[in-house]
């Protein structure tokens, strides 16, 4: 009996170590791809900066031009842009490595839930960033410059500060566009039900405008540009949560379902 216990413990230890080695290898592979992408993105960083500055340049008053207040500001800004672009560009490979690591340990119904959840989270992140770039930033800077013109002062926009503001806007909208993913996860985990999400609509509508007032410039147009998509995303999340739950039933509901690998 004691011999069996030692053998089982040794086997468990070997399995744990093999999982750690696999995790290390997949993390290393992901980092290598990120570093390679960083090198490529850093080379094209000035072009990326010009693209990201389009909303600012379009909103600048005639005769004005964006500048870098200090030389090191250009270097650090381009480095940040290259790094974030490398992360986004490497995301498919990173997600593949993560999926390849966890998928063997999941039941079939869990795989049917996890994969769409991962893919949809990336899609909503990109959608939120795109929405912020094409709609929110132009409206925000037109408001800022229109307000500055009322003071009679000349406007000199620092590109480093513009990027810091843009990064916060990208983060805020990318995060808020994950609302449907959060709803799907909460419903799947049994923490809330679809009916509870429907009953909370009135509070969500009010909360959407509060969040919009905090994250956007203090004008009605910008607030509606975030509040309305948030409300629509909440309704989409209710639908997707029910759809995904119906197509990812538990093992007890599906006889003979394949068990995860040990």
Q: Residue 96: pLDDT above 70?
A: yes
Q: Using one digit for the tens of pLDDT, what is the confidence trace for 145-165?
A: 888 778 777 778 888 888 888
pTM for this entry:
0.76
> Can you give the pLDDT at residue 6?
46
Q: Using one digit for the tens of pLDDT, what is the confidence trace for 121-135?
A: 888 888 989 998 998
pLDDT level of residue 4 (50, 70, 90 thresholds): very low
Q: Residue 250: pLDDT above 60?
A: no
Contact of 233 with 93, CB cutoff 8 Å: no
Tell me the percentage of the chain whose pLDDT exceeds 90. 11
Where b means 16+ CB within 10 Å and e means fewer, 54-91 reads ebbeebbeeeeebeeeeeebbeebbebbbbbbbeebbb
Cα gap 235→30, rounded to integer Å: 35
Cα gap 85→165, rounded to integer Å: 17
Q: Residue 112: pLDDT above 60?
A: yes
Q: Residue 113: pLDDT above 80?
A: no
Q: Residue 108: pLDDT above 50?
A: yes
Report the mean per-residue pLDDT for the chain.
80
112 vs 76: which has the higher pLDDT: 76
């Amino acid at each position: 009996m004691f011999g069996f216990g030692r053998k089982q413990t040794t086997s468990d230890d070997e399995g744990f170590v093999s999982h750690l080695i696999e995790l290390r290898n997949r993390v290393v592979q992901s980092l290598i791809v990120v570093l390679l992408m960083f090198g490529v993105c850093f080379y094209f960083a000035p072009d990326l900066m010009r693209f990201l500055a389009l909303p600012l340049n379009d909103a600048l008053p005639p005769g004005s031009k964006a500048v870098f207040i200090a030389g090191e500001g250009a270097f650090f800004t381009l480095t940040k842009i290259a790094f974030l672009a490398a992360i986004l560009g490497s995301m498919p490979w990173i997600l593949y490595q993560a999926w390849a690591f966890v998928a063997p340990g999941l039941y079939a119904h869990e795989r049917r839930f996890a994969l769409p959840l991962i893919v949809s989270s990336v899609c909503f992140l990109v959608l939120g960033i795109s929405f912020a770039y094409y709609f929110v930033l132009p409206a925000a800077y037109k408001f800022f410059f229109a307000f500055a013109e009322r003071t009679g002062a000349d406007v000199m926009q620092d590109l480093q500060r513009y990027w810091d503001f843009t990064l916060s806007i990208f983060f805020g909208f990318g995060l808020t566009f994950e609302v449907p993913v959060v709803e799907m996860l909460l419903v799947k985990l049994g923490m809330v039900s679809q009916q509870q999400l429907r009953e909370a609509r009135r509070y969500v509508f009010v909360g959407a405008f509060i969040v919009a007032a905090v994250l956007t410039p203090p004008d009605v147009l910008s607030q509606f540009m975030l509040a309305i998509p948030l409300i629509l995303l909440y309704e989409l999340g209710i639908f997707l949560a029910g759809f995904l739950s119906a197509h990812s039933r538990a093992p007890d509901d599906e006889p003979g379902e394949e068990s995860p690998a040990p």
